[in-house]
Chain A
Amino acid sequence: MRVKRVLITRLEVYLVILAALLPLVVSSEPFHHVMTIAGLYALGTLGLAVFTGFAGQISIGHSAFLGLGAYSMAILSGTCQLPTLAGLAASGLVPGLAAWGIGRQLLKLREYFLALATIGLVQIFQVLATELEGLTGGVEGLFNLPWLSVFGFQLDRPLEQVYLVWGVVYLAFLFGRNLCSSGYGRAFQVVASSEDTARTLGLSPEALKTRAFVFSAVYAGLAGGLYACIFASVSPEAFGLDMSVMLVLMLIVGGVGSLPGALAGSVLITWLDIWLSGYQQYSLAVFGLILLLLLIFFPEGIFRGIGARWIDIVRSYAREDWRKELRR
């Protein structure tokens, strides 16, 4: 049976049109800027949704790929003065190649050890970005980078950047969704549930895991490349562990394994983060507490969590002994 790849429902068309009108309706520059940042995170989270949600692997190190993409962009378009589109291509290519190179060895590890090794990637990336001063500008990083320009149009206003980033995110979303509903997506899920089963079916878990890893690294790298254009600067501490943790948190809040959830989670957590950062020294403790509460009460993501709770309550009302059910 031939699987229908492109599945855009009418509802989705309406939603996309509504979302596309939103930046015009709420036309304040801070809103556009925050949504642009949310879009960058969404791109990174989408890749992670395939790697963690479908292929079942854990990574707390994708900020390293974001950083690698951002630095590729910064060095090519800033230092070497190449066109920004070439920089953007490199920002997807370089992290992808890096992931392909280390993937096979790294992904032999599982569970906590994989999590630790990916954390190690971030540390190694940060040290390299700080120490290779000639190339990366050291602790201060690189700044005064050019805006992204497409065929002579410079995208330097927040409104243009929102459309640029979310346009890329939507394309990435469509591609990711098609990938996940293709044979690859199903193979990833087999690998996630049992590698032995995958081998029995003639699938190679090593190759599949590496491909999912490369896929997510390319997404993260593109997000990094756009980051370099939008902030016009890169520095090592911007791509630390907290960024990796944010990406995983967005994934969990949206529901692991749900691509629309990854987008919604990114927007939600970005707003939370921006809102909290206004409280300066309280932000870290409060962010930690909110993270804990989310994990304890909505481990399946808030959308699924709220939905499931509603269904439970409605069901228990439908039964005769609903009082007893609810009390239990």
Chain B
Amino acid sequence: MVTAATFLQLGVSGLTSGATYALIALGFITIYRASNILNLAQGDFVMLGGMLTVTGMSRLGLPYPLAAAVAVMGTGLIGLLAERLVIHPIRNKPLIISIMATIGISMTLSGSALLLFGTSPRTLPPLAPAGAVSLGGGVSVSSQALAVLLVCLLLLAAFHAFSSRTWSGKAMEAAATDRLGADLVGISRSVSRMQAFFISAALGAVAGVLITPLYFMQYNAGALLGLKGFAAAVIGGWGSYAGAVLGGLVLGVVESLSLAVIPAGYKDAVAFVALLAILAVRSKGLLGSRALEEARK
């Protein structure tokens, strides 16, 4: 029988994977708000972040922090390149074309990763000193997991500050809110879109650097991570940063708790069952979403 302590422990460890989903969800939202495009290659940016860091350390002999920084910037530039080469030319095409284009980007990225890094799963040394912090009652949390949570919350605060305090953040918000209005006051939507792709690719890479020490990273790990991140963003309330983070954490915890109730093999379906349930019962997500209401009308 599952004891209360086990239950709590599962919940706590769910928060860690939840924080990862939250970071991926943030990336989805950033691009969607700036360009109304759903970037299904988001999970591959996560994979690239982790794999590039591993390669930087093992092949180029860079120190850990430098390798991570290079990986994050490099992935950001790949995101920028993807926007310029693929998304920009098809920006006025029907929805199905843009969905397929981001799937194409995803296939190209994971295919290139297969060629560059091979099929073997890689891992990284932990960021935080090894060890676990006890929360009392037999429940403990690893310090790496705490670091992931902390970075996630810091990034959320940074995002909030960026979009409400800085000029370019406000410009991105404006371009997302009202296209014509943004055009009229001289905000370049093209530039906003480029910024958004750079930021969310870099954000995905940060998530990749954070989770590679916890789970193993492989060339094809991106697809499932990306889909779960998107599911998290919808569950929390599509379109808002806070919703993305909340949705990620909730999804992580639900997925982890499900381990106590149903066999582990079903874990990967939990996210999508939760998603379909949320869409059927409360389609605007936990925090509510204007974008989803409009998409459903």
Interface residues of A (CB under 8 A from B): 52, 58, 60, 105-106, 108-113, 115-117, 119-121, 123-124, 127-128, 130-131, 241, 245, 248-249, 252, 256, 281-289, 291-292, 295-296, 299
Interchain CB contact under 8 A, B223 and A241: yes
Tell whether, in the assembled complex, residue A112 and residue B265 are in contact, meaning their CB atoms are under 8 Å apart: no
Question: What's the Cα separation between A116 and B103 when bound, in Å?
Answer: 12
Say which residue of B89, B109, B269 sits within 8 Å of A296 (CB atoms).
Answer: B89
In the complex, residue of chain A having the shortest beta-carbon distance to the beta carbon of B275:
A120
Contact partners of A110 in chain B: CB under 8 A: 295-296
In the complex, whether B129 has a CB less than 8 A from a CB of chain A is: no
Inter-chain CB contacts under 8 Å: number: 133
Cα–Cα distance between A153 and B271 once the two chains are bound (Å): 46
A-facing residues in B89-133 (Cβ within 8 Å): 89-90, 93-97, 99-101, 103-112, 114-115
B104's partner among A128, A130, A295 (CB-CB below 8 A) is A295
Compute how far the CA of A288 lies from the CA of B107 in the bound complex, rounded to whole angstroms.
Answer: 5
Interface residues on B, range: 35 or more
Enumerate chain A residues within 8 angstroms of B100, measured Cβ to Cβ.
245, 248-249, 252, 291, 295
Complex Cα–Cα for A297 and B103 (A): 16
Query: How far, in angstroms, from A277 to B37 measured CA to CA in the complex?
Result: 31
Known A295-B100, A299-B94; 8 more pairs at CB < 8 Å: A109-B279, A109-B283, A112-B38, A116-B38, A116-B234, A285-B114, A287-B107, A295-B90
Q: Which residue of A lies closest to B97 (CB)?
A: A299
Q: Are A124 and B86 in contact (CB under 8 A)?
A: no
Q: How far is the CB of B113 from chain A (nearest CB, A)?
A: 9
For this complex, 17 residue pairs linking A to B, each with C-beta atoms less than 8 Å apart, are: A58-B96, A105-B276, A108-B279, A113-B238, A120-B276, A123-B268, A123-B269, A123-B271, A128-B269, A130-B265, A131-B266, A245-B100, A252-B96, A288-B106, A288-B109, A296-B90, A296-B101
Q: Which of A60, A124, A283 has the most CB of B within 10 A?
A: A124
In residues 185-230 of chain B, which contact A (Cβ within 8 Å)?
A: 223, 227, 230
Partner pick for A127 among B99, B110, B114, B265, CB 8 A cutoff: B265
B111 nearest CB across to chain A (Å) = 3
B 236-249 to A, binary, CB cutoff 8 A, 1 in contact else 0: 00100000000000
CB distance from A219 to the nearest CB of B (A): 18
Q: Which residue of B lies closest to A240 (CB)?
A: B223
Question: A interface, by DSSP: helix, strand, loop or mixed?
Answer: helix
Q: Do residues A289 and B108 form an inter-chain contact, with CB atoms below 8 A?
A: yes
Q: Which B residues form the contact surface with A (CB < 8 A)?
A: 38, 86, 89-90, 93-97, 99-101, 103-112, 114-115, 223, 227, 230-231, 234, 238, 263, 265-266, 268-269, 271-273, 275-276, 279-280, 283, 292, 295-296
Give which listed residue, A113, A131, A256, A291, contacts B292 with CB less than 8 A. Answer: A113
Cβ-defined contact, A120 with B231, below 8 A: yes
CB atoms of A111 and B295 under 8 A apart = yes
Asked if A127 and B90 make an inter-chain contact with CB atoms under 8 angstroms apart, the answer reads: no
List, in ascending order, chain A residues with CB within 8 A of B272's CB.
119-121, 123-124
Name the distance in Å between A47's Cβ and chain B's nearest Cβ: 16
Please give the distance in Å from B35's CB to the nearest CB on chain A.
12
A120 and B231 CA atoms in complex are apart in Å by 9
**Contact partners of B280 in chain A: CB under 8 A:** 105
CB closest residue in chain B, given A124: B269
Find chain A residues with CB under 8 A from B99 CB. 58, 60, 112, 115
Contact in complex: A58, B95 (CB < 8 Å):
yes
A261 to B34, CA, bound (A): 34
A119-B104 in contact given A248-B96, A252-B97 (Cβ < 8 Å): no
A291 CA to B100 CA, complexed, in Å: 8
Flag if B268 contacts A108 (CB, 8 Å).
no
**Inter-chain contacts of A119 with B (CB < 8 A):** 227, 272
- Find the A residue at minimum CB distance from B294: A110
Q: Closest residue of chain B to A248, judged by CB?
A: B100
Q: With the chains together, A60 CA to B97 CA distance in Å?
A: 12
The reply to whether A117 and B115 form a contact with Cβ atoms under 8 Å apart is: no
Distance of A130 Cα from B104 Cα, bound (Å)? 27
A108 to B107 CA separation, bound complex (whole angstroms): 29
Which residues of the partner chain B approach A256 to less than 8 Å between Cβ atoms? 94, 96
Instruction: For the complex, give the distance between the alpha carbons of A291 and B110 in Å.
Output: 14
The 4 A-B residue pairs with the shortest CB-CB distance, nearest first, are: A285-B111, A288-B107, A284-B111, A288-B108
Interface centre among B104, B263, B283 (most CB of A within 10 A): B104
Q: Is the CB of A109 within 8 A of B265?
A: no
Task: Report which of A109, A291, A292, A295 forms a contact with B296, defined as CB distance below 8 A.
Answer: A109
In this complex, what residue of A is CB-closest to B273?
A124
Establish whether residues A285 and B86, one from each chain, have CB atoms under 8 Å apart when the complex forms: no
Pick the contact of A284 from B38, B105, B114 — CB < 8 Å? B114
Across the interface, which residues of A come within 8 angstroms of B108, CB to CB?
A: 285, 288-289, 292
Residue from the list A52, A123, A286 in contact with B111, Cβ < 8 A: A286
Chain B residue with Cβ nearest A106: B276
Task: Assess whether A295 is in contact with B223, with CB atoms less than 8 Å apart.
Answer: no
Residues of B within 8 A of A58 (CB): 95-96, 99
A121: nearest chain-B partner, CB-CB: B272
On chain B, the residues within 8 Å of A291 by CB distance are: 100, 103-104, 107
Q: Which residues from chain B contact A123 at a C-beta distance below 8 Å?
A: 227, 268-269, 271-272
User: Are B90 and A299 closer than 8 Å at their CB atoms?
Assistant: yes
Smallest CB separation, A3 vs chain B (Å):
28
**Chain A residues in 8 Å Cβ range of B273:** 120, 124
B108 nearest in chain A by CB position: A288
Q: Choose among B86, B89, B100, B231 the residue with the greatest number of A CB atoms under 10 Å from its CB.
A: B100
Using known A-B contacts A110-B296, A113-B279, A113-B296, determine if residue A299 contacts B93 with beta carbons closer than 8 Å: yes
Q: Give every chain A residue within 8 A of B283 (Cβ-Cβ).
A: 108-109
Residue of B nearest to A297 (CB): B89
